[in-house]
């Protein structure tokens, strides 16, 4: 069950311990597609409420298979005081073309026209492999509130073409944590990822080094993150393990994943926690 009582201490942990002040809510790590519309609304309300004066931004993912549910969540996010909304492609009935997907996104954006709108591109989960560049090129003419892409894919050719075709004030948020540095070089303006729940400070060092032009230092941090993730993947890394790591590092009871996902075996989690602590100890 969703436990709203951990939201405030978790937000405090993100700010104080991870230096994270921008939250992407009800996304993949937040298991949004396993939650009911009501649960997603309660979470959005709670995060927007406790975020006031504490967080810089709460962006709420409102994508659902049902267009009507998505519109309802978009309207709700606006009323709750969210700073932006994002939407993934529906994935059971898939859009047949980028035009069809744009029509879907447009309908949702129109339900909350005052909120910045982001397309959340995550083909590994949606199995919708339409190039993001085809979805976003010129989309601001149809969706005036469009402000960027959360790009969770390894295809840096597609990402680069999003960067080169988009207006300069859009946010291009990269979501494959193990290759963020490559995306920064290609023009990413920020990052959203599951591991930043416990590696936020670490990755801040990489961003700082990259912004100073210190590629040697930035690469050293990225390599540490790669070493950690490749070890974790060898032990079954995925949403359940990530959630267990979030609980371990924050010390807060974030609970098991919802069925059909199952928690990871304890011995794998212990091994990965050990690796994580060794990486963090190297700071
Ligand atoms: C498929 C997936 O879960 N991707 C993660 C990554 O952070 C991913 O866990 C990481 O790069 C390790 O592969 C994020 O892009 C997901 C995310 O940002 C979200 O929770 O919405």
Indicate if 157 and 72 belong to the same structural domain: yes
Q: How far is the CA of 9 from the centre of ligand 1 (A)?
A: 23
- Residue-averaged pLDDT of the chain: 97
Distances (CA, A) of 204 to 53, 77, 93, 208: 21, 28, 38, 6
Indicate if 51 and 116 belong to the same structural domain: yes
Q: What is the pLDDT of residues 8-49, one digit of tens each?
A: 999 999 999 999 999 999 999 999 999 999 999 999 999 999
Domain range enclosing 76 = 4-193
Number of domains comprising the chain = 2
In the structure, what pLDDT confidence band is assigned to residue 282 with cuts at 50, 70 and 90?
Answer: low
Which of 161, 91, 89 lies closest to 119 in space, CA to CA?
89
Instruction: For residue 126, say whether it is annotated as part of any ligand binding site.
Output: no
Q: What is the pTM of this model?
A: 0.97
Indicate if 29 and 50 belong to the same structural domain: yes
- For the Cβ of 26 lying below 6 angstroms from any atom of ligand 1, the answer is no
Q: Of 193, 211, 231, which residue sits at a domain end? A: 193
Q: Of 142, 163, 193, which residue sits at a domain end? A: 193
Indicate if 175 and 219 belong to the same structural domain: no
- Over range 138-159, report the average pLDDT: 98
How far is C-alpha 94 from the chain's CA centre?
21
Q: Of 160, 177, 193, which residue sits at a domain end? A: 193
In the structure, what pLDDT confidence band is assigned to residue 79 with cuts at 50, 70 and 90?
Answer: very high
- For the Cβ of 22 lying below 6 angstroms from any atom of ligand 1, the answer is no
Indicate if 187 and 221 belong to the same structural domain: no
Indicate if 180 and 215 belong to the same structural domain: no
Q: What is the pLDDT of residues 218-267, one digit of tens each?
A: 999 999 999 999 999 999 999 999 999 999 999 999 999 999 999 999 99
Q: What is the atom index within ligand 1 of the atom nearest the CA of 29?
A: 20
Please name the helix (run of DSSP H) or strand (run of DSSP E) that holds residue 46, with its range, or none: helix 37-51
């Amino acid at each position: 069950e969703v436990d709203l009582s951990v939201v405030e201490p978790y937000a405090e942990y993100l700010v104080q311990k991870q230096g994270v002040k921008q939250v992407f809510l009800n996304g993949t790590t937040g298991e949004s597609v396993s939650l009911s519309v009501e649960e997603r609304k309660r979470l959005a309300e709670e995060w927007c409420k406790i975020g006031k004066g504490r967080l810089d931004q709460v962006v709420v993912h409102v994508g659902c298979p049902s267009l009507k549910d998505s519109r309802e969540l978009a309207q709700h996010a606006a009323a709750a005081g969210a700073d932006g909304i994002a939407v993934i492609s529906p994935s059971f009935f898939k859009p047949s073309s980028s035009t069809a997907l744009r029509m879907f996104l447009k309908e949702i954006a129109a339900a909350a026209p005052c909120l910045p709108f982001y397309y959340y591109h995550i083909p590994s989960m949606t199995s919708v492999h339409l190039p993001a560049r085809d979805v976003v090129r010129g989309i601001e003419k149809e969706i005036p509130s469009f402000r960027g892409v959360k790009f969770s894919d390894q295809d840096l050719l597609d990402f680069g073409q999003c960067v080169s075709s988009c207006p300069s004030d859009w946010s291009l948020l990269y979501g494959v944590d193990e290759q963020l540095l490559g995306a920064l070089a290609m023009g990413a303006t920020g990052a959203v990822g599951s591991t930043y729940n416990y590696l936020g400070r670490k990755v801040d060092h990489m961003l700082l080094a990259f912004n100073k032009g210190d590629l040697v230092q930035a690469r050293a941090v990225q390599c540490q993150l790669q070493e950690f993730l490749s070890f974790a993947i060898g032990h079954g890394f995925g949403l359940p393990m990530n959630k267990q790591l979030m609980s371990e590092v924050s010390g807060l009871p974030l609970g098991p994943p919802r069925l059909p996902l199952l928690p990871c075996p304890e011995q794998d989690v212990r091994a990965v926690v050990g690796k994580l602590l060794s990486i963090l100890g190297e700071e």
